Amino acid sequence: GLADLPPEWNPQSALLRLAIQGRVAQRNVPAAMLDDGRWGIVRNEQDAQIAERRWLRLHTRLSGDGAFTLGERLAALMVNRFGPALLHAGTRPALLGLAAGALGLLGGGVGWLGQLAVGFVLLGLAWLVEQVASLLGQVERASLLASGLARRSVALFHLLIDAGFVTLAGWGSGLPTHPSMPPGAPFFVPLTLLMCMRLIPLALPGRRWSRWLSDRFMIGAALAAIHLFLPWDATLGIGVILLLGIGVFSLQFGHKRSDPEGPPPASPNPRLTTRQ
């Protein structure tokens, strides 16, 4: 290998000589691929560490249009900072997924004991740890590792996080108990709120702000702050009204027709809406 070459030899020249002797056809590599970490010659441990971090940045790069959230950025920063140490220690994404599940269960238990704000924060941290696990799995799959398998339980985990939010929010409701009150009434407004947060990104996929509604780290922090400093039930109800109003307004006026006689505009999301 290249490590067996004498120190006074040039690795590039040695590789070129081998390619010429083997009659390998020359193919130019784009400069962008040379600069982004896909290609490089590792001569020592320091070069290996630099190449490793460039590889991690390449596969945890956020979208260039700015449509990223605080939780996504924190997850990418954590992978770039601690990813090499975790991978060298043999930490697999599945293990981090178990840690995220443990944090979620801890958040539910703390909320059941009455510390709802702490429970919301722990649920948000569980989502964040799961994002880190997903990014590490993405890096492993890009590295062609046999263990880098796609984790199919991510969507189910996100549903469980939302269920935890709804449960804690229902426990924190101050609605009076009355015989005429239907069972489960305290959970109706939180359930509607979380359903709106899931529906709006599907109905308005091209809006940058709609992506922030999928960031459960921020949602957990916001719910904790609301529980500590604002009227709980009234604020959640206002949140539902605002989300529904913004969604309807965006769907109604976000795609205005410039020509009244021309064809109607395309549906904002053909999976959810159709036009005759």
Please name each of the domains of the chain with its CATH number.
1-41 (no CATH), 42-253 (1.20.120)
pLDDT at residue 1 in the model: 61
Radius of gyration of the chain (CA): 25
pLDDT at 248 over 80: yes
212 Cβ contact list (under 8 Å, min separation 6): 69, 218
Type of residue found at 96? L
> Which is more confident, 234 or 57?
234
Query: Which whole number is the average pLDDT over 80-108?
Result: 86
Q: How many of the other CB atoms lie within 10 Å of CB of 222?
A: 15
Query: Which whole number is the average pLDDT over 6-19?
Result: 76
pLDDT at residue 257 in the model: 46
Q: For residue range 122-159, what is the model confidence (pLDDT) as tens digits?
A: 999 999 999 999 888 887 776 655 444 455 678 899 99
Range of lowest pLDDT (79-88, 194-203, 206-215, 261-270): 261-270
- Give the Cα separation of 223 and 107 in Å (integer): 13
pLDDT at 35 over 50: yes
pLDDT at residue 79 in the model: 86
Return the DSSP state at 25.
P
pLDDT at residue 176 in the model: 80
pLDDT at 261 over 90: no
In the numeric block, which tokens belong to residue 44? 């020592």
pLDDT at 272 over 80: no
pLDDT at residue 214 in the model: 92
Q: How high does pLDDT run on average in the chain?
A: 81
Return the DSSP state at 214.
G
pLDDT at residue 187 in the model: 95
> Which is more confident, 28 or 268?
28
Q: How many of the other CB atoms lie within 10 Å of CB of 213?
A: 20
What predicted TM-score, i.e. pTM, was given to this entire model?
A: 0.77
- Give the Cα separation of 185 and 93 in Å (integer): 38
pLDDT at 86 over 90: no
pLDDT at 84 over 70: yes
pLDDT at residue 148 in the model: 44
pLDDT at residue 63 in the model: 52
Backbone angles phi, psi at 27, to 5 degrees: -130, 125
pLDDT at residue 174 in the model: 87
First and final C-alpha spacing in the chain: 66
- Give the Cα separation of 77 and 82 in Å (integer): 8
- Give the Cα separation of 263 and 257 in Å (integer): 9
Looking at the chain, the number of H-run helices and the number of E-run strands are: 11, 0
